[in-house]
Structure 1
Amino acid sequence: MKKIFAIIIALIGFIFSACNDWLDVNPRTQVKKDVLLETQKGFRDVLTGAYIRLKNDNLYGGEMMWGTIEYLAQHWVVATGTTNAYLQAYNYTDGSVKDRFSAIFKTYYQTIADVNGLLEVIDKKKDIFTKGNYELIKGEALGIRALCHLDVLRLWGPVPSGEISDNKILPYVKSVTNEIHDYSTYEQFVKLLLEDLDEAERLLKGVDPILEYSIANLQDETTCDVEDDFWIDRQVRMNYYSVLALKARLYFWTQDMPNAALYAKKVIDAKDPSGKKMWTLATGVTMESGDLACASESIFGLSVYDLGKKASSSFDLTGNGIHEQSFIMDYYAFPTGERTTDVRFDKQWTSLSKNGQSIYICRKFHQLSDNPMNELPLIRLAEMYFIVMEATSSTTEANGLFSEYASSRGIATADLSSNKLRTLTKEFNKEFYAEGQMFFFYKRVNATGSINYIPLNAERYVAPLPEREIVYNNK
Structure 2
Amino acid sequence: MKKRYIINIVLLAFIFSSCDKWLDVKPELDIYEETLFEKAQGYYIALNGVYIDMSGKNLYGKELTWGAVEAWGRSYSLNEKAHRPYLDVINFEYDKSEAKSIAASIWLDSYKVIAEANNLIQGLENDGEVKFKYGDVTKNMILAEAYAIRALMHFELLRIFAKAPIADNGGESAFIPYVTTYPSIVNPPVATKNILKYLIADLEKAKEWIKPFDTDVQYPGGKIFSYLNDSRVKLDNGAGEVLGVDEFFNYRANRLNYYAISQLLARVCLYAGENDKAFEHANEVINVVNKGTNFRFVAPGYIGDPMELSTIEPRLHSEILFAPYNSELSTWTEGYFSSSAKDWLLVLNDKSGIFSENADDVRLKAIPKNMVTKFSLEGREESDMIAAKSLEPVLRFPECYYIAAEAVFDKDRALAVEIFNKVVDARNNSVYNLKADVDKGTFMEALVKEYRREFLCEGQMVYVYKRLNLPLRENGTTVAHNGKLVMPVPDTEAGVQ
Q: TM-score, normalised by structure 2?
A: 0.80
Residue 124 to residue 469, structure 1, CA distance change in 2 (3 Å): closer
Q: Which amino acid aligns with 2:226?
A: S
Q: CA deviation at 1:243?
A: 1.1
The aligned counterpart of 2:351 is 328
Residue 44 to residue 466, structure 1, CA distance change in 2 (3 Å): same
For the Cα contact (< 8 Å) 2:160–2:487, is it kept in 1? yes
Give unpaired runs (5+ residues) of structure 2.
1-7, 16-27, 215-219, 234-244, 304-308
The aligned counterpart of 1:467 is 491
For the Cα contact (< 8 Å) 2:140–2:210, is it kept in 1? yes
For residues 50-65 of structure 1, the aligned pairs below 5 Å read 50-65=50-65
Q: Which amino acid aligns with 2:162?
A: G
The aligned counterpart of 1:25 is none
- Structure 1: distance between partners of 2:10 and 2:382: 19
Residue 84 to residue 14, structure 1, CA distance change in 2 (3 Å): farther
The one-character-per-residue Cα deviations of 1:377-401 (angstroms, maximum 9, x if unpaired) are 2111110011112111322212212
The one-character-per-residue Cα deviations of 1:316-349 (angstroms, maximum 9, x if unpaired) are 3653724225621221224xxxx81111111x21
Q: CA deviation at 1:293?
A: 1.6
Q: CA deviation at 1:449?
A: 5.8
For residues 9-408 of structure 1, the aligned pairs below 5 Å read 12=12, 31-80=31-80, 82-130=84-132, 131=135, 132-162=137-167, 163-164=169-170, 166-177=172-183, 179-208=185-214, 209-212=220-223, 213-214=225-226, 216=228, 219=231, 228-270=246-288, 276-287=292-303, 288=309, 289-316=311-338, 318-319=340-341, 321-325=344-348, 327-334=350-357, 340-346=359-365, 348-351=366-369, 360-367=370-377, 368-371=381-384, 372-374=387-389, 375-392=391-408, 393-408=411-426
For the Cα contact (< 8 Å) 1:116–1:176, is it kept in 2? yes
- Tell me how large the CA RMSD over aligned residues is: 3.0
1:456 matches 2:461: no
More off after superposition, 187-196 vs 428-437: 187-196
The one-character-per-residue Cα deviations of 1:29-48 (angstroms, maximum 9, x if unpaired) are 87443321221111111100
For the Cα contact (< 8 Å) 1:76–1:324, is it kept in 2? yes
- Taking only the aligned residue pairs, the percentage that are identical comes to 24
Query: Number of matched residues?
Result: 433
The aligned counterpart of 1:4 is none
More off after superposition, 368-377 vs 423-432: 368-377
The aligned counterpart of 2:445 is 422
Q: Which amino acid aligns with 1:455?
A: V
Q: CA deviation at 1:9?
A: 10
For the Cα contact (< 8 Å) 1:158–1:164, is it kept in 2? no
- Structure 2: distance between partners of 1:450 and 1:362: 18
The one-character-per-residue Cα deviations of 1:186-215 (angstroms, maximum 9, x if unpaired) are 222112212221221121023234445425
The one-character-per-residue Cα deviations of 1:275-332 (angstroms, maximum 9, x if unpaired) are 6442222232233532112111111112333444443222136537242256212212
Q: Secondary structure at the match of 1:370?
A: helix
For the Cα contact (< 8 Å) 2:405–2:416, is it kept in 1? yes
For the Cα contact (< 8 Å) 2:335–2:344, is it kept in 1? no
Q: Which amino acid aligns with 1:279?
A: F
For the Cα contact (< 8 Å) 2:232–2:252, is it kept in 1? no
The one-character-per-residue Cα deviations of 1:444-469 (angstroms, maximum 9, x if unpaired) are 10013663567333531111110114
Give unpaired runs (5+ residues) of structure 1.
1-7, 16-27, 222-226, 352-359
Q: Which amino acid aligns with 1:181?
A: N
- Structure 1: distance between partners of 2:206 and 2:171: 29
The aligned counterpart of 2:23 is none
Q: Secondary structure at the match of 1:460?
A: coil
